[in-house]
Each structure stands twice: as C-alpha cells, then as structure tokens.
Amino acid sequence: MNEWLDPLLLSRWQFGLTTVYHFLFVPITIGMALTVALFQTAWVRTNKEKYLQLTKFFGKLFLINFAMGVVTGIVQEFQFGMNWSDYSRFVGDVFGAPLAMEGLLAFFFEATFIGLWIFGWDKLPRGLHLATIWATAVGTILSAYFIIAANAFMQNPVGYDINEAKGRAELTDIWALLTNKVALAAFPHTIFACFMVAAGLIVTVAAWHLSRNQHLDTMRPALKFGLWMMMIAGALTVFTGDSLGLAMVQTQPMKMAAAEAMYTTATGADASFSVFTLGTPDGVSELFSIRIPYLLSFLSTHTFDGTVEGINDLQAQYVQLYGPGDYTPTIWVTYWAFRWMIGLGLLHIVVAFVGLILTRRKSALGARLLAGRWSRWIWKAAIWSFPLSLGAMIMGWIFTEMGRQPWLVFGLLKTADGVSPNVSGLEVLISLIAFTLIYGTLAVVEFKLIKKAAQKGPDDLPEPHPETGVRRQETTVY
Amino acid sequence: MDLTILWFGIIAFLFIGYFVLDGFDFGVGMSLPFLGKDDTDRRVIINTIGPIWDLNETWLIVAGASLFAAFPEWYATLFSGFYLALLVILLSLILRGVSFEYRHQRPEAAWKRRFDAMIVIGSAVPALLWGVAFGNIVRGVPLDEGFNYTGSFFDLLNPYALLAGVTTLLLFFTHGTLFVSLKTDGDLQQRARRLATRSGILTIVVAASFLLWTTLAYGTFWSAVLSAVAAVTLIVAVLANARGREGWAFGAMAATVAFAVLSLFLSLFPDVMPASNDPANSLTIANASSSAYTLQVMTWVALVSLPLILAYQGWTYWVFRKRVTRAHIEGAEAAH
C-alpha cells in the first residue's frame, strides 16, 4: 500500500489538526466567559454605562467564537471512536467516565445558560441575567477540569486495573482518576493560560482603538483591565507551569528530557537549561548554545544539585521495562515547542509589565513615550498580545501531546496500537481533506467577522425613556 | 437491578432526547425554503430555535460520551464502522451551527442566501443519515470476532436503512414545521400549518411502512406495541394540526419521535449491535458494557445530573415560550 495512505499517520495528523483548531476557540470561550461576567458584574454594581457597553462589546466577540467551539468539539468526541476504536475499546471503561461526566455535569449547563444569556437580556431580571453568565463561566471551567482529568490519564494512568480476560483497562477508583496529580497540576496551568489568552484579546482590541484615539471612555478601562489580567494570569501560569513541570518529571521523565533534547543524564550545574541550541542537522552534536547552569536541575527537582535523566538512559530503561522499541518522542518538535511556549509566554508578560508602567496615571515617562516617535511601536507591541498568548497556548499543547509519544496512554498503550483497524487510509484521507478544507474556510470567515466586530467598537446604548429614565433592554435575535 | 439494562435505558433516553429536540431543529432548518417568503420570515423561522438549537445539539454530545463511558465496545464499533456516514453528519452539523451565527453578520442578500442554503443542507443531511445509521443498527451489520465492522460505506445504503432515513427525514420535517407553527403567528403560522398537514400525511404513509417492516423483520412484542403507539400519536399530531391545535400537534409529534426511537431500541434489546453474518459476533448489553464499578459511578452521576438537566432546560424553554413575530424581529433590527 502507498505509504501516504497509512491510516495511523493520517489519523494522527487529523487528530492533531482538529485538536489544535478546536483549542483556538476553547481558551477564548473559557477566558471571555469570565471576563464578560466581570464586566457585567461591574455594570450591575456601579450602573456605569461604560461597563454595559464593554459587556455587550466583548460579549459579541465571545459569541462569534462560541459556535465554532461547540461544533468543533463534537468532532473531537466522535474521533475517539471513529479513528481510534482500539484505543476506545481499551480505555473506554476509564476514559469514557470523565467525558460523560463533562457532558452531564458541565457541558449541558454551559450550553443552556449561554443561550439564556445571549437571548435573555430583555426576558430575565437584571440579577438573574447576570447569574446566567456566571453559570456559563463556571460551566466552561468545570468542563475543562473533566477534559483535563481524561487527558491526564493518558499522561499518567491512575485509578485502574488491567482486566487480562477482556484485554482492557478498567476503572477501580474514580477519585484517584479525578485527583490525578497531573490533572491537579495541568488544570490551573491551562485555566490561567486561558485567562492570558482572553486578556491578550482585550489588550489587542483596546490598544487598536486607543492607538487611533477612539472609544476612549470604554477602551481605556478595558486596556487597564486587560493589562492587569495579562500580568496576573501570566504570573500564575508561570507558577503553575513550574508545578506541572515537577509532576511531569516524576511521571514522564522522558518528556522533560525531550523538552531539553538532553541525551545524557546530568547533575547540578551540568543540568543546565538550554535557551537556544543550534545543532548539526542530524541532531546528534551541538554547534552553538546558550545555557543557564543549574536551571534545569531546579526546574525538575526544585534543588540545585538534582539529577535529571537523559534520553539515552531513559530509552535503555524503557527497553528493559516494555521490550524493544523506540521510546523517544520527536525531539526537535518537543524541544522547539517547549521553547516557543515559554518564550511567547514570557514575552506576553513583558508586554503586560511595560504596558502597566506606561499607563500609570502619573507616569511622566509613559506620557512622553506614548506621545513620542516610539508610540507607534509601543501600540504595535500591545496589539500583538493576542497572537502571542494564543501561540504560547498552542505550543504548550503540541509539546505536551507530542512529548507523550510513542505512547497513547503512557506505559500502557502505544499510539500505533490505538488506531481503528477497519478504517482505511483512503477513508481517513478523505476526512482529513474535508476537515482541512472546511476548517480552513471557516477560519478565514471567522477571523474576518471577529476583526470586523472588534474594529467597529462598542455600540452606543439606546436613549433612555424620556419620562421614566429607564433604558429598555434590547431584544437579541439572530 | 442489572446496571447494564439501566444504562441501555439511559442511552435510549439520551438519544430520544436528542432526536426529539434536535429533530425539530432539523425540520425548522429544512422548512426555510418552503416557508420563508422574505428575509424577515426566514429570520423569524431561525429565531424560533435561536436560543435552544445549541443546547438541543448538546444532547448528541452527551449521548455520545455516555455511550463511550457505559458501552465502550458499542461506541467503538459504531463510530469506526460508520466512519464516512458520521463524517458527513459531523460536517453538516458544523455548517449548520456556524450558519445560524454567521448569516446575520452581514446585510448582503447573497451572503444570507449562502448560509440559508447551508442551514437547509446541514439540517436535511443529518436528518436522513441518522435514520440510515439507526436502520443499519437494527438490521444488523457484518462484524468480525473483534466486533469490527467489515462492510463498506455502500453496504449501509440498503433499502431498509434508506427507508429508515427517509422516515426520519420526513418525521423531522413535519416535527419542525409543527414547531414553526407553534412558535410563530399570522400568515407564516398558517402556511406552516398547511405545510405540516401535507408533509404529515406523507409521513404517515412512509413511517407506517417503515414501522411495519421493522416489526415484521426485527420486531419483538414490545417494539410492536410501541410502533403501534407511535403510529397513533402521529395520526393524532396530524389531526390536531388540521384543527389548529398546534400545542397538541407538536406534543403528539414529539411523542411519535420518542416512541419510534424507543421501539427501535426495544427491537435491539438485549443486543446493541447485532452481527448480520454470525450471531456469535453480536454486541450485546453484556459484552459491550463497562465494568460494574464504572457503571455504578456513572449511575450516581446520571441520577444527580439528569433531574437537574431536565429542570434547567425546561426552565429555558419556559423563558423563551413566547411566539416569535415579524414585529419582534423588525423591532430588534431597528435597535441595531
């Protein structure tokens, strides 16, 4: 058979592409639900019009993105059965439970209350309407927990036994599954990163308007809010990333070694963090590198004299444990994805930090810089916040999932053994092309629509009733 | 009680919920070219399901995930076996979902026409293919000892399954036009009512032959009883509609969809996917299910969540109970 029609390779590409695509919308949904809820709460408590305008404005951006999140999410759930049926048979007893819990306990909740929020402006009392956006925000975060718990099982399987007769993993302890230490570490890291992405979106939009000197009354507070959220969420993402790194070293040492492209085990100063390395094309020897001594030891063990295992030693261990085979992920992918994640994330925090200094109320430096010839570049940097944060997020997931390879469930099932045996390469090629075409087209439409709505800026509110002074809530329709 | 039986019931319940609810969404979408005389009409029609299509579609996600958790073998066999059919359903649902959101983003008629067409296709194709898929499940498909489907995409397009597809297409079409008639007023409502009568009569003929074929070829006593009940409620729905009792008509139609789907599930029981080549390869509630522990955990989750889900979704329908009128749509338009 033609090697291009390898169902395994094509299924991996399809799962990777559709997952990355789905996850462009997920962090915006999670982060923006909370943000919109905060703006609306500010409006309900202070009655200031600018907060209502911000609620409606960012609410609109949130909604354009929401439908895509839902419809691409169904694809994710179906693909386990469609392309990975042997995986589904092997882990369904364990892995299905958190997915079903997500649906029953969180996603229904989220999908129902988002509808009530969008269309309920003129149908629900003010307080109850506010509660619906909070319910949506809680639903999105709860959803994320169950999905991450399911994913954590693939990284670090716990709470199961192997049933030899049935040839599958069976759940023995739901609590252990839900409190998997990888889940406990990955959940806050992911959620704070989602808040970073939402903050990035707010800063991008606000900076775009402010650099054109328009919508000042709403976009000034939005910028300030966005910068603070970027700063706080960014710092929390770094801290939680650190604890996720520790959990990763304990459960998947190969992933950390692959993140560093570190072939030999090293201790103390030798366990250095490589900032940038140029190697020979075969990746075996190094031409040039910038390294920070001790840092990798600290990141992996929180001590300066820790030992970090190298790829070659781990490979030898795994051969002993699991039999002959290649247990190394694709090193250049993990190495660069890890660096891009950290680099983009840190850059994002720098933008927030500089932004907060420049926009301080009595900052003479800020006033001078923003009036001077650097101003154009400062605004440009702020406008790039959103792609920076989204890029960091995507790189993080690529690292985490590619670093798990060749395992589908670490130590239990290899990716090659999970693919559907009865789905042909041609069928997967058809679906891969179909998804690529449709997702690609929709990405263009989606981007144009969000851009258009964002550039239009907040709408003016309708005039209050001349006698009563009450402003009627508008009806929302498609 | 044996939890596998309970979970067979819960899966049936979730699919019934999905087909009753998203079923009328499909019908509403398909009715656009028949009922929408101008853009305002089309917006009225779309807005009858505006706040709820998304939560209706969520029933599919929950049904799928519950199938995965409770009957992983069933989930794996069904989804990998019906690969291309499910792909087409997924793509249709994507196009339909984004079209609701996108069509009102720009004022040009050409832009709106494009998304209207996608709503119609994105509604009709799943309405047809879900019937084809369930027809094949009931009829049985070739499975090997590992429960892997060994047929091809074209084996799914047999006469019985195609009749099942046409049946669901017509059922959902009528279900949707009855919903439009329930949720609109004036001229549009009258046209929806007349359309429902015409499509309802056609539905009775097709659905009766499908249920008869099912009963004769694959039926059990109880599936036959439920088929008969479904036939009666379908006739009640068409008669109530003819008399202008749109609430009764819609309710009876919802019952028809529910009883028909339940009848299919009962004709399967205790199999979940019968093998047409060798009964020894059939998936049953026993060999397809998760372990007793997983089912216990999931039972607790379902017992806590399902009443809550029904309560808050019922409340949502209550909040949006008012009819959508042309004035309502035009007023909202003026506000923007």
Kindly state whether A136 is in contact with chain B, defined as any CB-CB distance less than 8 angstroms: no
pLDDT at A287: 67
Chain A neighbors of B84, CB-CB under 8 A:
427, 430-431
Q: Among all residues of chain A, which has the CA nearest to that of B312?
A: A112
CB contact under 8 A, A99 and B65: yes
Which residues 137-166 of A are in CB contact (within 8 Å) with B? 163
Confidence of residue B29 (pLDDT cuts 50, 70, 90): very high
d(CA B61, CA B55): 10
Chain A residues with CB inside 8 Å of B86's CB?
Answer: 78, 82
* B143: three-class secondary structure by DSSP: strand
Find, among B312, B119, B17, the residue nearest to A116 by Cα: B312
Judge whether residue A376 has pLDDT over 90.
no
**CA separation for the pair B270, B313 (Å, rounded):** 31
A4 CB burial (10 A radius; 0-12, 13-18, 19+): exposed
Q: Could you read off the pLDDT of B265-309 as tens digits, one per residue?
A: 999 989 999 999 999 999 999 999 999 999 999 999 999 999 999
| Mean pLDDT on A39-65 | 91
Of A80, A83, A104, the CB nearest to B62: A104
What phi and psi values does residue A277 have, to the nearest 5 degrees?
-135, 135
Task: For chain B, positions 169-188, list CB contacts with chain A under 8 A.
Answer: none
pLDDT higher than 50, residue A116: yes
Return all residues near A86 (Cβ < 8 A) that are at least 6 apart. Answer: A417, A418, A419, A420, A421, B76
Per the CB < 8 A criterion, the answer to whether A320 and A313 are in contact is: no
Q: What's the pLDDT band for A331 if we cut at 50, 70, 90?
A: confident
Contact (CB, 8 A) for A192 and A141: no
- The secondary structure of chain B in percent helix, strand, coil, rounded to multiples of 5, reads 80, 5, 15
pLDDT at B98 over 70: yes
| Nearest-Cα residue of chain A relative to residue B90 | A75
Separation in Å, CA A381 to CA A424, B56, B115: 47, 42, 37
Do the interacting molecules here have an ipTM over 0.85?
Answer: yes
Chain B: closest CA distance from residue A55 (Å): 16
Average pLDDT over residues A372-378: 78
Q: What is the pLDDT of residue B335?
A: 45
The least confident of A247-256, A265-274, B49-58, B92-101 is A265-274
CB A422 within 8 A of CB B149: yes
Q: Is B307 on the interface with A (CB under 8 A)?
A: no
Residues of chain B contacting residue A114, judged by C-beta atoms under 8 Å apart? 54
Q: E-strand spans in A95-222?
A: 160-163, 168-171
Q: What residue of B is the nearest CA neighbor of A106? A: B305
**Interface check A178 vs B, CB under 8 A:** no
Cross-chain CB nearest to B83 (options A88, A114, A423) = A423
Q: Domain ranges in chain A?
A: 3-252+329-456, 253-325
| Residues 369 through 428 of chain A touching chain B, CB cutoff 8 Å | 420-423, 427
- B102 and A CB contact within 8 Å: yes
pLDDT recorded at residue B333: 58
Q: Which residues of chain A neighbour B107 with C-beta distances below 8 Å? A: none
Contact A170 B87 (CB under 8 A): no
Structure confidence at residue A64 (pLDDT)? 83
pLDDT digits (tens, 9 = 90+) for B200-217: 999 999 999 999 999 999
- In chain B, which residues have their Cβ closer than 8 Å to the Cβ of A97? 69, 294, 297-298
